[in-house]
Structure 1
């Protein structure tokens, strides 16, 4: 009888500890939600692009990337506005010439003249959310060049400039948190997926705790469930952004890679296990869809060997098009087909990102949605 009593007490203690762990990992208090971020697949008013220019890395850099931006614009312009940020008037004229040469009608293209440091608008651009009345608001999160690894002063001003031009209310979060758009994934139903290495890192938010970060995300993004991966600080310039290897296709589907490919991407084994066991706000497991890496190491269009494979997870969901990074690789067709099956009402368009990939990013990294 004493043994039975001891066993029952032990089980109750374990159950209690597990419950506390669940509560710490998955807060459910929605009373502090002030703003909600629409998911990427929700209807867009348009997509923002920062066009490559010569003023930071030179003419060769710019010229090698132009074709990717022309292709993105061409794919998106049929079903939504494309807001193009040009460095100056000379660049606007040059870009317009590229679009006209490609047969892209200017009807749905909107130019803004803002100096930028680079092209990564997913990370430095505006985050559009809705307040409790449903009004669209721009959140201006802090951007410091991924921990002051690159110039960022011009890009950090972009959300404010867009808010002023659009006459949309802006929330200045620069002093609250450094947070790049590519560092977080939301499922549209209250769950956020992120790596600690890209957020709880002293090069972004020194001294910030997980609980503090969660409180900020709950208030400003409307999420109350968190899936935290450790990530890998120092792996590359972003300290392992989540959108390179794991994305939400919708509220019930998580897109990632198989175990070996995630290891190849240098995702820690503990993180892989956490990812595969992830559940949504209702504690239901996600349907896991696995995309391959490229079959071969990527080589740019100008012949530079990169000695690493490419990810297809970093795709972008437009109104009627899904822009998928392609690499002139046999697995392009495989990945495109899998992604197409996830979005039967949209058309997958493969975008050659080989030259862009040499600079550390893909399609999702250079696009930013503006909800309707």
Structure 2
């Protein structure tokens, strides 16, 4: 949505119910046992979910400004995995189909789903795929409330359950358990979670929830046994400082982030920077750090709007054979792309122009969601 960010510096062991055997009800009598584990992003994918921009919430200019980024992401991903495209209606599906064909993109690895959405941020409102104790994939439907009821969210909050019904996949309904956006948590694939308190333990999401209660939920439903908490900064952009804008697990032993000056520019508290740089995995081993630059210049959109702030490269997405990196038509694009390439030598780094998307609050990771094999 236009001006999505609110400040200028953007930037369950489960039982089947009789009514619906594919809906798993969390067993609240078990508070500490691990019931599910979440594969990390670089694990093999069945595909990637995208919610395609439309005109019905924020207008036709919003849609048109973003189409090219979605076309580029789709083209880059379809060579090695499915792309599940959520279109608002049949009219939009037909329009998107024309865009893809005009770009020379084969539809053979694309699946369309017709679901109404409010916006494009599938990382935050979409399905979270986890594995149960039998190593079977299930979908978790965590609560989503528009980052604290700041924007319309009713349509987007239904997406996980609609996907589960369409795929005939068991859905674990966590809407009454916890509000949790996908961009608010990072997992290393080895039992560690990295997050900011400001985006989770916030009265606009989970009023009255304690850190211990949140940790019990993450242990139970994501398989987390070790936590790295940063304070974050409530009120910094609409997400209240999601972690995936400035710190990510690049691998089981690597954290991708920025240098200290750039983290301060991002308004990360100094105490958080210290905590991040000194963080250790569940075995007490220090992480290796890959520090990416910010864009050299303030970002300017393709339609010549000067945003007045720099862009982050940390918000990239790992596909089966590619890594999609936000690019800004900036001198530091090539530097960031090459640094990320060193971390993923078996994958091809592809820069995706996100200037117009960034004007609305996010980058590549924010608008993608993996479906593991």
TM-score, normalised to structure 1, is 0.92
Residue deviations 1:74-112 (CA, integer Å, cap 9, x gap): 000000000000000000000000000000000000000
Distance (whole Å) between structure 1 residues aligned to residue 216 and residue 117 of structure 2: 31
Distance (whole Å) between structure 2 residues aligned to residue 132 and residue 89 of structure 1: 38
Q: How does 1:169-318 map to 2 (within 5 A)?
A: 169-318=170-319
SS in 1 for 2:282: coil
Distance (whole Å) between structure 2 residues aligned to residue 112 and residue 138 of structure 1: 17
Distance (whole Å) between structure 2 residues aligned to residue 329 and residue 125 of structure 1: 31
SS in 1 for 2:295: coil
Residue deviations 1:261-312 (CA, integer Å, cap 9, x gap): 0000000000000000000011100001100000011111100001110000
Distance (whole Å) between structure 2 residues aligned to residue 262 and residue 330 of structure 1: 20
How much is the aligned-residue C-alpha RMSD, in angstroms? 0.7
Q: How does 1:9-24 map to 2 (within 5 A)?
A: none
Whether 1:123 aligns to 2:124 is: yes
Displacement over 2 Å in runs of 4+: none
- Offset of residue 31 of structure 1: 6.2
Distance (whole Å) between structure 1 residues aligned to residue 216 and residue 202 of structure 2: 17
SS in 2 for 1:32: coil
Residue deviations 1:131-178 (CA, integer Å, cap 9, x gap): 000010000000000000010000000000000000000000000000
Q: How does 1:129-168 map to 2 (within 5 A)?
A: 129-168=130-169
- Contact 2:32/2:216 (8 A) holds in 1: no
Distance (whole Å) between structure 2 residues aligned to residue 295 and residue 274 of structure 1: 26
SS in 2 for 1:249: strand
Whether 1:56 aligns to 2:57 is: yes
Distance (whole Å) between structure 2 residues aligned to residue 168 and residue 281 of structure 1: 31
Residue deviations 1:206-249 (CA, integer Å, cap 9, x gap): 00000000000000000100000000000110000000000001
SS in 1 for 2:70: helix
Runs of at least 5 residues in structure 2 that lack an aligned partner in the other structure: 1-30
Structure possessing the higher radius of gyration over alpha carbons: 1
Distance (whole Å) between structure 1 residues aligned to residue 350 and residue 94 of structure 2: 27
SS in 1 for 2:142: strand
Residue deviations 1:157-208 (CA, integer Å, cap 9, x gap): 0000000000000000000000000000000000000000000000000000
Distance (whole Å) between structure 2 residues aligned to residue 142 and residue 95 of structure 1: 29
Distance (whole Å) between structure 2 residues aligned to residue 329 and residue 33 of structure 1: 44
Distance (whole Å) between structure 1 residues aligned to residue 201 and residue 286 of structure 2: 26
> Larger % of helix: which?
1
Partner residue in 1 for 2:105: 104
Distance (whole Å) between structure 2 residues aligned to residue 190 and residue 283 of structure 1: 12
Structure number with greater CO (CA < 8 Å, separation at least 6) is: 2
Runs of at least 5 residues in structure 1 that lack an aligned partner in the other structure: 1-29
Partner residue in 1 for 2:361: 360
TM-score, normalised to structure 2, is 0.92
